[in-house]
Chains A and B, each alone.
Chain A
Amino acid sequence: MATIVTQEVTPAWSGSRLARLKQRSQGIFEQLATVPGVQGACLCDNQGEILGMLLTATGDRRLFERIGLALSQCLAALSKLSPLTNIELRFERKLVIARDLGNALVVVLCSTAANTAVLRMALEVAANPFEGDADLQRDLRQVAPSRSSVFGREHLDASAQHLLLKAGLKEP
């Protein structure tokens, strides 16, 4: 049984702005929950902060905070080198797919049995209302203007920091 957790009231997210975010993120998670093999998902802003989650028996908030931040950093780094929409990471027992939503990122955790073609199509269909909501995109930009600051957060070890500096993707 999957549980959808949406953004709570904060100084940045309240009133109609919050309602809009909740509606769009609910739509994405409801679509993803119907895909066999999906074990959870999270929605992050440009700085890797969690905006919502789809939780199953497999994951919890802490896990998705870490996954969300890591994929936000990957997307921020890689998209400076060339335009990027999707990242797919296949591990021995898990599959992680991340999709850029303009000023947000959705990260999906699946079993390796999940059909990636179905998942990609479901993401495409689910992402469209979110990406196309100009008001929501504006709100997201106002709360977290840029992806550059995601490198300043913890979670990057010395090697990762060095690589980012070397590639010119992070200021010394």
Chain B
Amino acid sequence: MVASGNLSRVIFRLSNKELSGEVTLTPAVWRVLVQFDGTRTVAEIAQGLKLEESGVGQIAETLFRSGILQVAPGSVAPPRPTVNGAFIEQITTELARAIGPLAALTLEDEIAALDEIQESFPRERIPELIERLGQAIPDDARRLKFQQVMLAAIRKL
């Protein structure tokens, strides 16, 4: 449901932010993690470790999303993960259950109001979009149902 961008040119370093929970790392992930020193790109680290760039990129993304890594100063920004058409379709379907045929138009309007486009809607803004769509549902019970279903879907992203 989520399309990741290419992180090969991004430089990461260990995050200095507080983590919200426990973290367990495999030896393979640890081996990659200790390379993120804030000076080398993901591609360079993959080359140095003689690993596939895509594999190192996936590890970097997981560590970045969990807050263990942060983007180093001066690095290119990582491309934002986006949701695919299937997820947008799911939102439309659930919204239609709540407000009928205006769902697609309402979704389009709310995405535009967030200054984004449907084809590359960022994953991180999905909760914000869902919350705004919920406010467009006048019936309390239907709004609650929509939020319930979409909350479960967000957790699977």
Interface set, chain A 112-160, CB cutoff 8 A to B: 113-115, 117-118, 120-122, 124-125, 128
Contact indicator B18/A125 (Cβ below 8 Å)? no
From A115, which residue of chain B is reached at the shortest CB distance?
B127
For chain B, the count of residues having a C-beta within 8 Å of the partner chain is: 17
Contact of A39 among B20, B67, B134, B144 (CB under 8 A): B20
Contact indicator B20/A117 (Cβ below 8 Å)? no
Contact indicator A121/B127 (Cβ below 8 Å)? yes
Interface: B91 (CB within 8 A): no
A122 to B127, CA, bound (A): 11
Contact of A118 among B20, B21, B148, B154 (CB under 8 A): B154
A11 vs chain B, min Cβ distance (A): 35
Interface: B130 (CB within 8 A): yes
Interface: A111 (CB within 8 A): yes
Interface: A34 (CB within 8 A): yes
Interface: B52 (CB within 8 A): no
Contact indicator A113/B20 (Cβ below 8 Å)? yes
Q: Which residues of B contact A118 (CB under 8 A)?
A: 127, 151, 154
For chain A, the count of residues having a C-beta within 8 Å of the partner chain is: 17
From B67, which residue of chain A is reached at the shortest CB distance?
A113
Q: Which residues of B contact A121 (CB under 8 A)?
A: 127, 130-131, 134, 147, 150-151
Contact with B along A102-114 (1 / 0, CB 8 A): 0000000001011
Interface: B17 (CB within 8 A): yes
Interface: A27 (CB within 8 A): no
A36 to B17, CA, bound (A): 15
A120 to B143, CA, bound (A): 13
Interface: B50 (CB within 8 A): no
Q: Do A93 and B148 form a contact, CB below 8 Å, given A117-B131, A121-B130, A121-B131?
A: no
Contact indicator A117/B144 (Cβ below 8 Å)? no
Contact indicator B144/A124 (Cβ below 8 Å)? yes
A37 to B127, CA, bound (A): 15
Interface set, chain B 77-92, CB cutoff 8 A to A: none
A69 vs chain B, min Cβ distance (A): 25
Q: Which residues of A contact B127 (CB under 8 A)?
A: 115, 117-118, 121
Interface: B109 (CB within 8 A): no
Q: Which residues of B contact A111 (CB under 8 A)?
A: 18, 20
Q: Do A36 and B20 form a contact, CB below 8 Å, given A118-B154, A125-B147?
A: yes
Residues of A within 8 A of B (CB): 34, 36-37, 39, 93, 111, 113-115, 117-118, 120-122, 124-125, 128
